[in-house]
Chains A and B, each alone.
Chain A
Amino acid sequence: DTGVSQDPRHKITKRGQNVTFRCDPISEHNRLYWYRQTLGQGPEFLTYFQNEAQLEKSRLLSDRFSAERPKGSFSTLEIQRTEQGDSAMYLCASSRLAGGPGTGTQYFGPGTRLTVL
């Protein structure tokens, strides 16, 4: 396994701009999760995918946020009309649904740090 990767690692944008982040999960992991972590807090769940299907979205995910996982591989998280309150670390994690060692364990990427000016 090469691990979960995220791109970019850092993003600075101006309020009102749109941003998109990418997550590449560990290959063959069925599930992919997005979390948001603000300073001094633990990560909070945003949404998750099982293969290409988005199965749950947190109430934290406003209409300005959209996530996709086409073909059940990489995922993107887009934030439209960014606000200063969107400044946070956005974390991606993936896990194997069933079968094999580590089933269900979530492996995290390094995160994308978003700063909205």
Chain B
Amino acid sequence: NAGVTQTPKFQVLKTGQSMTLQCAQDMNHEYMSWYRQDPGMGLRLIHYSVGAGITDQGEVPNGYNVSRSTTEDFPLRLLSAAPSQTSVYFCASSLSYNTRNSNQPQHFGDGTRLSIL
């Protein structure tokens, strides 16, 4: 198993450009999520999905869109990039989301380092 795969690893954008960060997992995990990591801020949840066709907002969703058409893929779209979105973005997945299986660790990709000029 490859685990959680994120592409690209690095990206530089100009303000106003749009792009999609890709995330794929091959573990048949129901739950997938996107975080951003900024210095001194820890990880903040952007959007998450509890299964194909279901997404919801996290702590910092503004300026980002997600969709979950398949179990494997969970792309994150920046609609109109702003310098404040310069960050490292991590995708994570876990087996299940529901209360009965809440004791599930999350598996992380290696991140996408995004700079917005």
Q: Do chains A and B interact in one complex?
A: no
